[in-house]
Amino acid sequence: MGKYQEVDCRNKLSSFQYFFYDYGRFHGNTVNILIHLTCIPTIVITSYLLTEFLSTSYFKISFNFGALILSTWGLLYLTKELFLGLVTIAEYVGIFYYLHGRDLSCCNFNHLQIVLGLFVTAWILQFIGHGVFERRAPALVTNLLLTINAPLFVNIEIFYYAFGYRKGDIDEAKKYIAQDIKNYLESGKSAKD
């Protein structure tokens, strides 16, 4: 057991490949990946719904300030991967448009309780995924920008597995991801360190 050393690959990979590596090295466990594929969209959608609720109920403004925040994130997605950046933006705009003003009350729980319950549950599952299955702290611990890019990364993974999207680029990055995870595990670190 030695000191963890991140794989030195910044100059060996394209910008997209390094982006995929940098996020992917925190997500090597299949269960954790599946948790992320479900929970990242849940967190983004419930974040939007929470800011919509706060905007209209507490601040008494008709504009959802969360929409502005999420719009700036969309610009960041375009700098990482143009096509899937556009897909991710369109996906969430469509979901937000559909959910705008809808009351999600159900089973004696009001709208806010449902949204908060989903938001908190998704975050708890994310941390379980990292702590129990990945045994590594989440990417947000080292780089907040990676967290903001999570919705894009989820779509990259879906398109990679479903359609072979950017297969060569991602397969090359996955070699470095595997080495990074190996280095991390051999260093004796874990999520509880």
70 found inside a domain: yes
pTM of the model: 0.88
Q: Which domain holds residue 40?
A: 29-181
Among residues 24, 46, 48, which one has the least CA distance to residue 36?
Answer: 24
Q: Which residues contact 98 (CB under 8 A, 6 or more apart)?
A: none
For the record, the structure tokens of 162 come out as 């479903």
Residue 55 has pLDDT above 60, yes or no: yes
In sequence order, the β-bridge partners of residue 109 are 106
Residue 13 has pLDDT above 50, yes or no: yes
Other C-beta atoms closer than 10 Å to the C-beta of 30 total: 9
188 found inside a domain: no
What is the count of structural domains for the chain? 1
171 found inside a domain: yes
47 found inside a domain: yes
For the record, the structure tokens of 40 come out as 């990242």
**Cα 155 from Cα 181, distance rounded (Å):** 22
58 found inside a domain: yes
Range in 28-37, 132-141, 173-182 with the lowest mean pLDDT? 132-141
17 found inside a domain: no
pLDDT tens track for 115-148: 999 999 999 999 999 999 998 888 778 788 888 9
Among residues 108, 130, 170, which one has the least CA distance to residue 36?
Answer: 130
**Cα 70 from Cα 87, distance rounded (Å):** 14
For the record, the structure tokens of 42 come out as 């849940």
Element (H, E) at 89: helix 82-99
Torsion of CA 88, 112, 137, 19, to 10 degrees: 10
Other C-beta atoms closer than 10 Å to the C-beta of 108 total: 6
In terms of Cβ atoms closer than 10 Å to its own Cβ (0-12, 13-18, 19+), residue 54 is middle
**Cα 39 from Cα 121, distance rounded (Å):** 9
**Cα 85 from Cα 73, distance rounded (Å):** 10
Q: Quickly state the pLDDT bin for 2 (edges 50, 70, 90).
A: low
73 found inside a domain: yes
